[in-house]
Amino acid sequence: MAGLKDFQKFLGLLFGLIAFPAIGQVPKIGSDTTLDVGTWNVEWFGDSLNGPSNEVTQLKNVTEVINNMDLDVLGLCEISNPGYWAKLQGNLPQYGAVITTYTQTQKTALMYKKSMFRLLYSKSILLAFDYEFASGRFPLEVALESQWGSKKDTLYFWVIHLKANTGSTSEKLTSYNRREKAAEELKNYLDPKKSWKGMVLGDWNDDLDASIVSGKASPFLTWRSDTNYVFPSYRLSLAKQKSTASYSEMIDHMCVTASLKDNFLSNQSGVMVGDSYIASYRLNTSDHYPVWAKFSMDFKVWVGVESLEPAWRETMGIPCQLLVFDLQGRLLMQGDPETVKPAATGMYLLQYVYPNGARKSVKVYVR
């Protein structure tokens, strides 16, 4: 009897694997040492008549993706049901969230780690360009104040969802022109704000290397060619990656303004290909994949005793003295590592002295 039960158990497991293929866990992208930002179109999220048909499953999968990726900031497109939007926020208590107020069903939104940012404001912008911005899907502007370090920084995020490339050949050309004009107006809005640390996130509905409209240049070519900006997603376009489950192009993008572009960590951007981790992803989660990028956090203002590398602490103990030098090697101050700290903004060389006479040096930026 025991053998029969074991065989039946084996058959049940086998059929279960066939019906529900084992797919790996959505990977963690975020880290404690980088600012990790993403954008994701969640396809008619919460709308029972469009997109994935099982809204409960979609909510579960979207929650899993956001939880596991562990990004610090995430722009979202196509939030289409207030009730499910509230449920998603309830599932992700570590995030604050804002959503646009325009009248279209498919809304843009932004989620951010509450431990890292405080919301300053959110608003729709460029309201004079209703037609260009897909008949009323205006850019969502969100200002967040950083909550780490001794100096607060303001970071700006713009979430966009440009006109889709649908219809006849002539209709697609019209949509192309609307995307091009919308991008032009948004760039005109951002160009004077060179001191703003900001990122544009969203579903741009076209590619950066060449348009998805046959024979046309990218509608964002002028913007992409402006060296005041950097597109972390451009390298993905050049690598022929894609951001949707059904088509071969990158149409979800990120753009970084002049004051933040040097923070982008070269080659640290990618696509979380949902099909690799969630069975039937295209049918039960979204037709788009999350796109992400990593940025240096030179906002981190101080390397104190508590944040020294664990290996140092284990082998050398707690430092007993801290010497602070400028980059010319001149000693500026010394004393207890718990209390010594430069007051002025700039680069410094810190030298930790240990009870056994050993020394470790680290260069830091204080702001």
* Domain boundary assignment for the chain: 34-296, 305-366
Tell me the C-alpha distance between 300 and 55, whole Å. 40
| C-beta atoms surrounding 358 within 10 Å | 13
Question: How confident is the model at residue 247, as a pLDDT?
Answer: 94
Digit-coded pLDDT (tens) for 17-69: 333 444 789 999 999 889 999 999 999 999 989 999 999 999 999 999 999 99
3-state secondary structure the chain: CHHHHHHHHHHHHHHHHHHCCCCCCCCCCCCCCEEEEEEEEEEEECCCCCCCCCHHHHHHHHHHHHHHHCCCEEEEEEECCHHHHHHHHHHCCCEEEEECCCCCCCEEEEEEECCCEEEEEEEECCCCCCCCCCCCCCCEEEEEEECCCCCCCEEEEEEEECCCCCCCHHHHHHHHHHHHHHHHHHHHHHCCCCCCEEEEEEECCCCCCCCCCCCCCCCCHHHHHCCCCECCCHHHHHCCCCCECCCCCCCEEEEECCCCHHHEEEEEEEECCHHHCCCCHHHHCCCECCEEEEEECCCCCCCCHHHCCHHHHHHHCCCCEEEEECCCCCEEEEECCCCCCCCCCEEEEEEEECCCCCEEEEEEEEC
Give the CATH class of 34-296.
alpha beta
pTM: 0.77
- Edge-to-edge strand ranges of the sheet holding 321-325: 331-335, 321-325, 346-353, 359-366
Tell me the C-alpha distance between 254 and 248, whole Å. 18
Average pLDDT per 10 consecutive residues for the chain, totaling 367 residues: 41 38 82 94 97 97 98 98 98 98 97 96 98 98 87 92 96 98 98 92 98 97 97 98 96 95 93 97 98 81 45 67 84 80 73 84 68
